[in-house]
Chain A
């Protein structure tokens, strides 16, 4: 029983850690698709929401 509960806890914690790590490499498309030639200010939140 203990190893089962430990496994569940580990899975949940690992998933949470992974989500935090992946969030840091997440990029808004306004950032990912900006070449060096473009000077893009705040593209605004219309259509995409604030988060």
Chain B
């Protein structure tokens, strides 16, 4: 009897609860979701360019708070469609330009021929700095281009495993050679800034096209002509941009924000393509493009006639300081 009574009481309580919940007022929660509640469509439409839908998470990694970042789609489009065009036009275009220049203008010769007398142009420390920066640049450029184009150009030739292994090492080289490259940039800046300030002589040099197109035309120039000063500033400014953007890519937890990281990869990639194109021109003129030019960085000593034709004011300055031969007797070799 007592158990059935308690059972009956329990049943009544349950039925009472049911009525309570059935009553609209009692069933009213403090917050009832409605159609106006947060909707994905509305949020996505309200997003500004590059913005993302974020929320609260229980994970210490702050980047996990991003729920949807539509900018990833634009970043993907840029890297697969626009960047290859920028890179292709800049780099292949430069190759084409240089090839045409070589065909039309030919190698720039020393008009009066080599004198056999030399003067020191770059000290060994300057050459060391240049080659430090340059050799790092070459490896950085190739490994970087591998990231952008390797999948399309190189992977089909070597297969996935070999390409992935090579790319892994290339990426490691890229990351760690960036540091000696940055050091080389700083030293280069400190050592050569004073000779690379633009001046009136440079404007005259530019107006005469540097004498680059016509035979026998040699506008005066100091230690560095306007073209070289242009290269210096491209290297310093371009290098600085690559360094800053590269720094954030090296340490992605510094910005700890996927949108910022996307921005830095775009800077890094675009500047890289332009930088490489400019360096191709520099490498050309310093090797094939002009006879006698490579000696400056190779041995450090350049021929006097070459120097008189391309850096006449610099030769005069060096002669005044007693650091260069007068060159009045360009063919005789002293017996003693």
A is bound by B: yes
Which 9 interchain pairs have the tightest Cβ spacing?
A7-B131, A15-B176, A7-B132, A3-B127, A14-B180, A33-B60, A3-B128, A11-B180, A18-B179
Distance of A2 Cα from B125 Cα, bound (Å): 11
Interface positions of A (Cβ within 8 A of B): 1-4, 6-8, 10-11, 14-16, 18-19, 22, 29, 32-35
Complex contact B124–A3 (CB within 8 A): yes
Complex contact B176–A10 (CB within 8 A): no
Chain B interface helix/strand/loop/mixed: helix
Q: Select A16's contact among B60, B136, B175, B176, beta carbons within 8 Å.
A: B176
Q: Select A33's contact among B61, B179, B183, B299, beta carbons within 8 Å.
A: B61
Q: Select A11's contact among B59, B61, B135, B175, beta carbons within 8 Å.
A: B135
Distance of A14 Cα from B125 Cα, bound (Å): 17
Chain A interface helix/strand/loop/mixed: helix
Complex contact A2–B60 (CB within 8 A): no
Distance of A14 Cα from B182 Cα, bound (Å): 11
What residues of chain B lie closer than 8 Å to A29, measured between beta carbons? 61
Q: Select A8's contact among B59, B130, B135, B300, beta carbons within 8 Å.
A: B135
Q: Select B136's contact among A11, A22, A33, beta carbons within 8 Å.
A: A11
Complex contact B128–A6 (CB within 8 A): yes
What residues of chain B lie closer than 8 Å to A33, measured between beta carbons? 59-61
The number of residue pairs between A and B whose CB atoms lie closer than 8 Å in the complex comes to 53
> In the complex, which residues 262-304 of chain B have their Cβ closer than 8 Å to any Cβ of chain A?
298-300
**Size of the chain B interface, CB-CB below 8 angstroms:** 26
B98 within 8 A of A: no
Distance of A50 Cα from B176 Cα, bound (Å): 23
Distance of A10 Cα from B128 Cα, bound (Å): 9
Query: A2-B124, A33-B61 given. 5 additional CB < 8 A pairs?
Result: A3-B128, A10-B180, A11-B135, A14-B180, A34-B60
B177 within 8 A of A: yes
Complex contact A11–B177 (CB within 8 A): yes
Distance of A19 Cα from B127 Cα, bound (Å): 26
Q: A3-B128, A7-B131 are in contact. Are A15 and B60 (CB under 8 A)?
A: no
CB distance from B3 to the nearest CB of A (A): 49
B90 within 8 A of A: no
Complex contact A18–B128 (CB within 8 A): no
CB distance from A5 to the nearest CB of B (A): 9
Distance of A39 Cα from B125 Cα, bound (Å): 54
